[in-house]
Every structure is written in C-alpha cells, then in structure tokens.
Amino acid sequence: MSFLLPLGLLALLALPIIVLLHFLRERRRRVPTPSLLLWANLPRRVEGERSRRLPLTLLLLLHLLIAALLGVALGGPQIAGALTPDARHTAIILDTSTSMAAVDGGASRFEQARQRARAIVASASPGDRITLIAAGPRAQIVASGDDPFLITAALGRLQPGGVGMALDEALTLAEAALDPQFSRRIVVLTDGALPPQPARDVLVPLEWQTIGSNIPNRAIIAFASRPWGGRLQVYVRVANYEAAPFNGTLRVFSDAQVVAEERVAITPNGETEVSWTLTGRHGALRAVIDGNDALPQDDSAYLSVSQGRPILALLVSDEPATLRRALEAIPGVTVAVTTPSAYATAPERAAADLTIFDGSLPETWPPGAILAIAPPPGSSLLSVAPDVREIETGKPLQQRGRTLEELEFGGVVFGAVRQVETPQWAEVQLASGNLPLILRGRVDNHEIAVWTFNLASSNLTTRLAFPLLVARTVRDLAPPPLPQAVRAGESLIIRPDPRTTTLRLRGPNDQAITIPAASVVTLDTLVEPGLYQVEEQRNNAIVVAGVVGVNAGAAIESNLRPQSAPPLRAPGNDPGSASNQQMLDLWPWLALAALLVLALEWAYVLRRR
Amino acid sequence: MWFRNIFSPKQQAALPPLFNEAFLRRLERLSLQAQRTLRGRPSGGAHLSHRLLPTSIFSDHRPYSTGDDYRYVDWNVYAHQDALFVKLGEIEQDVNIHLLLDVSRSMTWGSPPKLRAAQLLAGALGYLALAHNDRLHVAPFAATVQREFGPAHGKSRLIEMLRFIEQVQPGGETNLGAVLEGYARHHPRGGLLVLCSDLLAPEGLEAGLRAYLPPIWQVLVIHLLDPGELNPEPLGPIELEDLETGKLLPLVVDDETLAHYRRNLADWQRRIESACGKRGATCARVLSTWPLERQIIPYLRARQILT
C-alpha cells in the first residue's frame, strides 16, 4: 500500500488527542449517590493508580476508529491491483483532415481508417473503455465510454474535412482522457499528411497506423487576387505531387464564365505559378485544374474579389469641406453631409455606418460608429471643459495604439483644445501631457473615436498625416471586411456591424445556418470547399452581404504520398497503469467506513441518554 | 420539526399518576393490622380494643354497678339468679396512624426515585387509614419534621391527603434520631407509626425508636431501597457525590470495591433490623421498583402488616 499524500497522515495525531480527552473526561466523571454512608471505610486506591488506567469504553474505541479511518483516508492510500485488472482504455485519434477524403484503393482513406477504428471497438472486451478523438484542424473528443454502440455511432457521424491535423493537441487530449486505472494506449489512424512535427514524449504506449498508399495528386495550393488600377490581378499556384510530369489546363471562372485559361506543364513533384490581369467587375472567382486525381476537393479553389464592405459616412459639420475630401478618398466610403441643426431630420441618420460630428454632439449616440471631433462642452455624452488650452508647439506627444502606428505628428499645431475627461470606456491614443487629443473606445455596441482638437484651428489638415489618420480611423471604427478566402477548417472570424442581430451563412451545398450576432463571431465548421455567402441581418433585413471562399488545397494536405511518422517517443508498456502499477484508491471506502462508524457512534450515544 | 426530535435528548417518559381510583377502591378491602394494646377511641374505627366494655356483642359478664347502662343488663341471668349482671364484649376503636415520610434529597435518587415509591406507599396507607375511620397524621421530614397533614378522619379528607402527599418537596439531609424523638414528644397518645425512609442516616434510628415504646406505639419501618443500591455497577474511577451533603469521594469502583460495599450494605441492614427488633418495631424492606399492588401489598400482607 502506498500513500498519495503522506502529509495527510498527520491527521492521525488526533488519536492521542482523543485518548487524552477521554482520559480527562474520565477523571472528572462524577456519579451522584444517595449517600456516602455505605461507601465509607472502603479500601482507597491511590490517585496515581487511577490515573494510569485508561478507560477502554466503547465510545473511546469508536472515536479512535473514526479518527484512524479519516486520518488514513487523508493520506490517500492506494493498493496495487484494480477492480478490473485486465481492462484497457484505448484512445483512438482519427485524422479527419481533407487528405483523408482521398480515394485510395477503392475506398477513401477516411473510410479505411473508420473500419480500423471499428475493428478496435469490436475487439474491446466488456469493461474496456474507448475514447474517440477527431483530429482535424482542431482536436476534440467526440465520444468516450465503455459502450461500443456509442463509439460506433460517433464514428459513423464523422466526416473528413479541414486543412491540417492538430496532432499535438489530440495527443494531449488523449493523455488527459485516459484513465490510469486501466491499461492505456493511444492509436493514431492517419495518412500522415502532416507538417513537420517536433519531437514529443508521449506518456502512454502509442500505435501509429498509416492509412493509404502512394497515389498522385494535383492541387491548387494558392489562389489570390488584388486590385490593380481598376483591374484585378489574379495569382494561382498549382502543385503536382507525382513522380511524372503533369500537363493540364488551368481555368478561372467568374459566375460560371471562363475569364482566364492557360495550359500548364508541371514537373514531377513540382509547382507552377500562373497570374492574369482581369478586367471588368467580378464578385467571386473559381480556379479549376483538370487534375482527375484521387482528391478532387483540392482541384478547385475559391476566392471572393468584392471590394470590401461599403461604408456610408454621415458628416455633421458646418465646415465639412476638408473632412469630406479626406473621407471620399477612402475606397468604399460614401459620404453624406448635413449640418448640426439639420442632423435630427437627416434621412441618412439611421442608415449611416459612421457618423462624424464636427463641433457638435447629439443627445444620444446614434447607431453605428461615431467620430466626435472637437466635442463642445455641456453634453451628457462626454465631459468637456468649457475653457480651451493651447498646446505648446514642439512638446512631445504620447502616442499609442495600432491606428496611429507610424503616423508622424511632428510639426502639427493642434491649436486650441478643450480638456475632455477620459470616459471609463475609452483609452487615450494620443495626448499632450495630461491633455488627451485622441480617444478610442466602445460603449453599448458603439465604436467611438474622439478627436478633442478643432480641425479649423489646427494645421493638421494640411499635413500628410491627416488623410492617413482619417482613413485609419474609419477602418478602425467600421467593421472589417470578410477575408477573401480561408482554408477548410480554419476559423473564420467575423466582426459584424454592431446593429446586426443575426448572421446567416449559406454554404456551397445551399445549406444555411443562422446564428445570433455578437461583437465577434468565430466559425470553425467551414470544412467543405466552396463559396460561402455571409449575410448580416437586422430584423430579417440584410444589412451587409459578402462572400468568402473556403479552399481545401494546401501544400501539406494535398501531398498524398505516405509520410513517415513524426518523432514521437512513447513507452512500450503503460508505466502508470495496468498490471504493473495499477493502483486502487482506498480513501472513498475509508471515508464511507468512517461515516458508518460515526452513525453507529451517534446511535450509541443517543441510546445512552 | 422531525429533525428536532432526532437530535434532542430522549424525552423522559411521563410518570403515571401516583394514585389510581380503581386501585384505591381495591385497597379498601385491606386494613392496617393494629395491635389491640393501642389506645384509641371507642366511638368508631375498625380495630378491636384489648379492653372489654359493656356492649351488645356478648362475651362475658360482670356484676352490675351503679351507672351502668340498663341496655346491657342480662335479664335472662337476672331471672335465673336474681342478681344483675351486665353483658361485656369486645368493642371496636379507632387508632392514630402516623405516616412519617422521608423527603430528604437521598430519596430523589433511583429510577424511579425512591420518593415516588414512598409517596405511593404513604398514599395507599393513608387511604386505608381514612377508609377505616382512623385518625391519620402525615408528616414529611428531612432534617426536621415539615408541615404535617392531620389529624384527619374519614374519607372526606382523602383528596386533601393525596394532594398533600403529592406536593411534598424533597430537600435537606436526613436527621432520623432528632426527628423521631421530636415527633414522639408531640404525639404522646401514641398510635401506629409507619416510617417510610431509606434510613440513610449515619446514626439515630435506634435512639429515635426508644421514644416509641409499646404498648402506646406500634412501629412499622418500611425501608425503601433502589436496586442500584443493592447491586451497583463497576463504574471504574469516579468521584462519588453525596446527594445530601455534596461531599465528594474519589473512588475506583471495581469488583474489589463492590465486594467491600456489599459487606457494608449487609452490616447496615443488619444494624437496622437489630435496632427495629430491640424496640419492637416491624421492619419491612421494600424495593422502589416493586409495583405497589403486585409486590408491596402482598409483601406487607405476608408480614401481617396488612390484613
């Protein structure tokens, strides 16, 4: 028997304390008698003899037993052996990356892996446990227990998809999930399409089973575009994972129309890059290589080439000219102008994505993002001092935040500035001493920036920093556009418009999901290659719609040739469990026994009353 | 709440009422056996006197003397012998019944307390006395005699007597000698004295009984004991506390000590019996756990204390 926490045995010191308490109680025990008449003249014992004798009462024995049981239980005793000494706990790590969808020998690699997993489940004895871990771009436990039907059902629900296999994460999960009371092992079922893995120690025996054979594959492993002077530059990289050269045709489609086509010749195990300059407007592009191979998922690539999220900026100013020019220079920004007095009736008021208040403030923050320039005093939204302060020229400014990164304010005269008390929701991004110049924050779903200086009294508008500052501020306040494309299984992070209530996502197979909007929405379930429509809705009306492409092709994933197992160091036998060191915790039984004795003691005391 | 009952000490079982009407009615058939030597009043009562007085119940004759009641002249004898003779016979008389009830603190010991057994016994004997037209005195005592009940005569005083016995308050030390002597001085006419006590007083019983000389007094000593006093348990090292004096005695109560205790107990009982025997008193040892009707009364009958 061993003890997990030998320090807990110090609780056994209660035993002599209990004996002492009983001894003291016994010495003081006083028994009334009707008279000492008949007890007189009895031979008397000396006091010492009386004190040497410990009264062995049932109560003392029960107390000692309870204290001993609890004291030993606190030490965490364990004994060798287990209730089911031959029971095994197997963690099956099943690679669910896209490469497992490759058809190899009449069936997909994933189906072959699933069969092997089913065989492991079928070979389990009663009492054995199995934990099934799906390892795609992320690893997760999909089923665990000793019910083979449960595991088999979970296996049936798994589908391959996603670029990459989180092997390290899966191994960590398996090590944590395996019960040391059992004989443990990990079985990895994978085609080995992994990036180079660092050496790693695995705590339990590991069985690495490689699925698949050497089969050729062609894939589009990169697809990108960028606007170029009103046109669109498109870039495609195609890889040939075969020992023979490949000649084929690479086409680019826009709305089912071929907009570019080129014959490509790729050397064995080589790659080639193709680029085109497209004219006209395109929403989304699809590149296709006639690979005719085992993994058709990576023969196509998708890309959204929309111009990003349109922004309607409402400029509320009496002198809007300078700001208007700066705003209109930003791609995708539409500017509407009104005066502070007419703001209440401006038609763009509710629809504006960004409202810029120059020298005025509304009673409440309007929907969408807000840029407040030179806020006047007396507003309930910001605490602004009535008097103005002149900022000394040449005094260094405190600058922080990514928005102002590498912006040069040297030589800028900010002129008269009112002291704005920094609200709790804002942080200072630019300040002169204790006088904040630019504040940035978020309150009640409103992205807000505050420029405390007056553009009319400042020379900032004549500097190069001004249009940059305006553009960066607008981009910072407005929700970011969707990415052009993500890899299958990669997290798609969407920061929707603050006024959005729901997000609707429609996949390539026309399946749609609706999720409630939040400030940041992360989608991990995009594993099927294709174009996904993302709609930001407010009260079932579309606010913004966009497209994002999901691509399965990747240099790691598309190479279907067998890879060697990563350098994983695992013991041959389970050092922490099974027949050699399988330990059984005794403390619950001891605690239970203590409780029973306690109940017995209680009954005994009650009976004595 | 139910859980309060779980964690609260076990409720002491309520003691049954001291006296039961049906039981007292059955007691009516009994009577105290008083000696004929006791002096009582011939006006009532159920005890026979040792004196022969003119009576309608004939047992002897004596010559007529002036002042005799003509109703008791035996005219048949006069017809035969031409001389007046008066019929003599045994008359019934009432006697004084004195119940001395020990209410010292030592009587509160035991389960049930010895005092309860004493109260029960005193109530039963008092009932008998009142039911048979005797004059009853009930005197609780500890160090001194407390407020007395009586003399009472007739069953009309029954409830009053029972209430008095029920309401006696225990307390104080036993001073048996002084109490007995003082009580005898206050009641020179004598009678039947019933002493209900555990007799746990160092001295005084024999000296006290000297004042109760026959034929004026007939003394019945009912010695009440608890079974725990006869057979105490080996309690180990303890401090014995005298209930009356509060004195403490550290002691190891083991088998050896108990053997000495039993010897002391036997000596003490022998001394009591000897003292009673010397003074003509009847001593009856009664255990406080005995049921009154089933054990105490048959026992007193067997000792010819009750008839």
Confidence (pLDDT) at A577 = 55
Q: Which residue of A has its CA nearest to B106?
A: A34
What are the distances in angstroms from CA B3 to CA A202, B6, B7? 55, 5, 6
Q: Which of A562-571, B21-30, B83-92 has the highest mean pLDDT?
A: A562-571
What letter represents residue A23's amino acid? Answer: F
Kindly list the residues from chain B whose CB atom is less than 8 angstroms away from the CB atom of residue A605: none
Conformation bin of residue A211: beta by default, left when phi > 0, alpha when psi is -120 to 50? beta
Q: Predicted confidence band at A471 (pLDDT cuts at 50, 70, 90)?
A: very high
DSSP symbols for A211-236: ------EEEEEEEEEEEETTEEEEEE
Confidence (pLDDT) at A90 = 92
Task: Identify the sign of the CA torsion B230, B236, B241, B243.
Answer: negative
Confidence (pLDDT) at A95 = 92
* Mean pLDDT in residue range B200-208: 82
Residues 118-177 of B with CB under 8 A from A: none
Q: Is the peptide bond before B151 cis (omega within 30 degrees of 0)?
A: yes
- Which residue numbers of A have CB closer than 8 Å to B's CBs? 26-45, 47, 49-50, 53, 55, 606, 609
Confidence (pLDDT) at B251 = 81
Confidence (pLDDT) at A336 = 93
Query: Which of B10, B202, B251 is closest, CB to CB, to A609?
Result: B10
Confidence (pLDDT) at B8 = 47
* Mean pLDDT in residue range A294-311: 84
Is A27 in contact with B107 (Cβ distance < 8 A)? no
Distance CA A418, CA A378 (A): 12
* Mean pLDDT in residue range B218-227: 89
Question: Which of A215, A193, A217, A194 shows the shortest CA–CA distance to A299?
Answer: A217
Instruction: Report the gap between the CA of B187 and the closest CA in chain A (Å).
Output: 30
Residue A64, classed as helix, strand or coil, is: helix
Is B252 in contact with A33 (Cβ distance < 8 A)? no
Cα Rg of chain A (Å, integer): 37
The burial class, CB within 10 Å (0-12 / 13-18 / 19+), for B68 is middle
Confidence (pLDDT) at B42 = 53
Token code pair at residue B284: 């009856």
B64 phi/psi in degrees, rounded to 5: -70, 140
Is B252 in contact with A45 (Cβ distance < 8 A)? yes
The percentage of residues in chain B with a pLDDT greater than 90, rounded to a whole number, is: 6
What are the distances in angstroms from CA A387 to CA A142, A492, B46? 64, 48, 125
Token code pair at residue B214: 């026959």
Kindly list the residues from chain A whose CB atom is less than 8 angstroms away from the CB atom of residue B9: 609
What letter represents residue A585's amino acid? Answer: D
- Measured in residues, chain A has a length of 609
Token code pair at residue A70: 């609890």
* Mean pLDDT in residue range A473-483: 87
Higher pLDDT pick, A390 / A258: A258
Q: H helices within B139-199, ranges in order?
A: 158-166, 176-186
Confidence (pLDDT) at B152 = 87
As for the ipTM of the complex, it is 0.75
Is A28 in contact with B239 (Cβ distance < 8 A)? yes
Does the pLDDT at position B294 exceed 80?
Answer: no
* Mean pLDDT in residue range A97-125: 90
Distance CA A425, CA A272 (A): 51
Token code pair at residue A604: 């005994």
What is the value of pTM for the model shown?
0.52
* Mean pLDDT in residue range A43-52: 53
Sheet holding A129-135, edge to edge: A139-145, A129-135, A88-95, A183-190, A206-210
Is A43 in contact with B268 (Cβ distance < 8 A)? no
Confidence (pLDDT) at B3 = 45
* Mean pLDDT in residue range B30-40: 54
Is B251 in contact with A44 (Cβ distance < 8 A)? yes
Instruction: Give me the torsion for CA of B275, B276, B278, B281, rounded to 10°.
Output: 160
Confidence (pLDDT) at A144 = 92
The percentage of residues in chain A with a pLDDT greater than 70, rounded to a whole number, is: 94
Ranking A199-203, B194-198, B212-216 by mean pLDDT, the lowest is: B212-216
Confidence (pLDDT) at A370 = 93
Confidence (pLDDT) at B26 = 64
Q: Predicted confidence band at B307 (pLDDT cuts at 50, 70, 90)?
A: low
Residue B128, classed as helix, strand or coil, is: helix
Kindly list the residues from chain B whose CB atom is less than 8 angstroms away from the CB atom of residue A37: 200-202, 268
> Does B260 touch chain A if contact means CB atoms closer than 8 Å?
yes
Q: Which residue of A has its CA nearest to B5?
A: A606
Tokens 């719609």 — which residue? A545
Instruction: Report the gap between the CA of B281 and the closest CA in chain A (Å).
Output: 23
The secondary structure of residue B292, as a DSSP letter, is I
Confidence (pLDDT) at B27 = 66
Q: What average pLDDT does chain A have?
A: 86
Distance CA A372, CA A446 (A): 12
Kindly list the residues from chain B whose CB atom is less than 8 angstroms away from the CB atom of residue A50: 237, 250, 252
Q: Which residue of A has its CA nearest to B236?
A: A55
The angle that helices A148-157 and A109-122 make with each other, rounded to 10 degrees, is 170
> Does B110 touch chain A if contact means CB atoms closer than 8 Å?
yes
Question: Which of A138, A465, A327, A56 shows the shortest CA–CA distance to B237?
Answer: A56
Q: What average pLDDT does chain B have?
A: 78
Instruction: Report the gap between the CA of B257 and the closest CA in chain A (Å).
Output: 7
Confidence (pLDDT) at B90 = 61
A170's enclosing H/E stretch is: helix A167-177
Spell out the long-range contacts of A408-411 with Cβ–Cβ below 8 A and sequence spacing 24 or more. A408/A464, A408/A465, A409/A460, A409/A463, A409/A465, A411/A459, A411/A463
Does the pLDDT at position A437 exceed 70?
Answer: yes
Q: Predicted confidence band at A450 (pLDDT cuts at 50, 70, 90)?
A: very high
The percentage of residues in chain B with a pLDDT greater than 70, rounded to a whole number, is: 75
Token code pair at residue A547: 């497209």
Q: Which residue of A has its CA nearest to B243?
A: A34
Q: How many CA atoms lie within 13 A of B93 on its CB side?
A: 22
Does the pLDDT at position A248 exceed 80?
Answer: yes
Interval A13-36: pLDDT, tens: 999 998 888 877 766 578 888 888
Query: Which of A29, A32, A34 is closest, CB to CB, to B229?
Result: A34
Confidence (pLDDT) at B14 = 57
Does the pLDDT at position B156 exceed 90?
Answer: no
Residue of A23, A24, A29, A37 to mutate when probing chain B, most B C-beta within 10 A: A37
Residue of A23, A38, A50, A607 to mutate when probing chain B, most B C-beta within 10 A: A38
Does the pLDDT at position A430 exceed 50?
Answer: yes
Confidence (pLDDT) at A117 = 93
B125's enclosing H/E stretch is: helix B114-131
Q: How many CA atoms lie within 13 A of A330 on its CB side?
A: 26
* Mean pLDDT in residue range A147-165: 90
Higher pLDDT pick, B202 / A200: A200
* Mean pLDDT in residue range A324-331: 89
Q: Predicted confidence band at B59 (pLDDT cuts at 50, 70, 90)?
A: low
What are the distances in angstroms from CA B124 to CA A72, B27, B117, B213? 63, 7, 11, 25
Q: Which residues pair with A208 in a beta bridge?
A: A188
Higher pLDDT pick, A249 / B95: A249
Kindly list the residues from chain A whose CB atom is less than 8 angstroms away from the CB atom of residue B257: 42-43
* Mean pLDDT in residue range A225-233: 85
Interval A504-542: pLDDT, tens: 989 888 888 888 888 788 888 888 889 998 888 888 888
Confidence (pLDDT) at A152 = 92
Confidence (pLDDT) at A94 = 93
The 10 Å CB-count burial string (b at 16+, else e) for A347-385 is ebbeebbbbbbbbbbbeebbbbbbbbbbbeeeeebbebe
Q: Which residues pair with A453 in a beta bridge?
A: A417
> Does B230 touch chain A if contact means CB atoms closer than 8 Å?
no
Is A39 in contact with B240 (Cβ distance < 8 A)? yes
Q: Predicted confidence band at B275 (pLDDT cuts at 50, 70, 90)?
A: confident
Q: Predicted confidence band at B124 (pLDDT cuts at 50, 70, 90)?
A: confident
Q: Which residue of A has its CA nearest to B254?
A: A45
Confidence (pLDDT) at B10 = 46
Kindly list the residues from chain A whose CB atom is less than 8 angstroms away from the CB atom of residue B244: 34-35
Kindly list the residues from chain A whose CB atom is less than 8 angstroms away from the CB atom of residue B245: 36
- Measured in residues, chain B has a length of 307
Interval B297-306: pLDDT, tens: 776 776 666 6
Kindly list the residues from chain A whose CB atom is less than 8 angstroms away from the CB atom of residue B114: 34
Kindly list the residues from chain A whose CB atom is less than 8 angstroms away from the CB atom of residue B249: 36, 39-40
Interval A346-368: pLDDT, tens: 888 888 889 999 989 998 888 88
Q: Which residue of A has its CA nearest to B6?
A: A606
The burial class, CB within 10 Å (0-12 / 13-18 / 19+), for A479 is buried
Kindly list the residues from chain A whose CB atom is less than 8 angstroms away from the CB atom of residue B236: 26, 53, 55
Kindly list the residues from chain B whose CB atom is less than 8 angstroms away from the CB atom of residue A35: 106, 198, 200, 242-244
> Does B16 touch chain A if contact means CB atoms closer than 8 Å?
no
Ranking A298-312, A550-564, A578-592 by mean pLDDT, the lowest is: A578-592
Confidence (pLDDT) at A46 = 47
Confidence (pLDDT) at B239 = 81
Confidence (pLDDT) at A172 = 92
Tokens 């085109």 — which residue? A276
Distance CA A397, CA A129 (A): 64
Cβ contact B123:B23 at 8 Å: no
